[in-house]
Amino acid sequence: MKLSYFAWVRERIGLASEQITPPAEVRTVGELIAWLSGRGEEYAYAFERPQFIRAAIDRVHVKHETPIAGAREIAFFPPMTGG
């Protein structure tokens, strides 16, 4: 699946996107965030406060409990503000 990173998540990881195959035991967005956090310092820094990370699966905003099975793209971004 493709992962896309936006704003300070992208800056902290150092990538705009990447292709990954998570382990079979990673079944939800929250579990994916936890797994990514263990991939290195830059990921740990980007996801150090997972409660602030927003996610979208195939361009639809989802909660951390949402299953990732069948997802083509998962995007991660910080909370957005309007003005």
pLDDT, one tens digit per residue, over 50-77 is 999 999 999 999 999 999 999 999 999 9
* Domain range for 63: 2-77
Does residue 24 form part of some domain? yes
Is residue 57 situated within a structural domain?
Answer: yes
Joined together, the tokens standing for residue 76 give: 């991660």
Q: Do the domain assignments include residue 41?
A: yes
Q: Own/partner pairs for 28-31, CB < 8 Å, 24+ apart?
A: 28/64, 28/65, 28/66, 28/67, 28/68, 29/55, 29/57, 29/62, 29/63, 29/64, 29/65, 29/66, 29/68, 29/74, 30/64, 30/65
Q: What percent of the chain has pLDDT over 90?
A: 94
82 located within any domain: no
pTM reported for the whole predicted model: 0.94
Query: Three-state DSSP class for 60?
Result: strand
Judge whether residue 81 has pLDDT over 80: no
Query: Which pLDDT does position 80 carry in this prediction?
Result: 75
For the chain, the average pLDDT equals 95
Number of domains in the chain: 1
**CATH classification at residue 37:** 3.10.20.30
Q: Is residue 28 part of a domain?
A: yes
**Is residue 83 a part of any domain in this protein?**
no
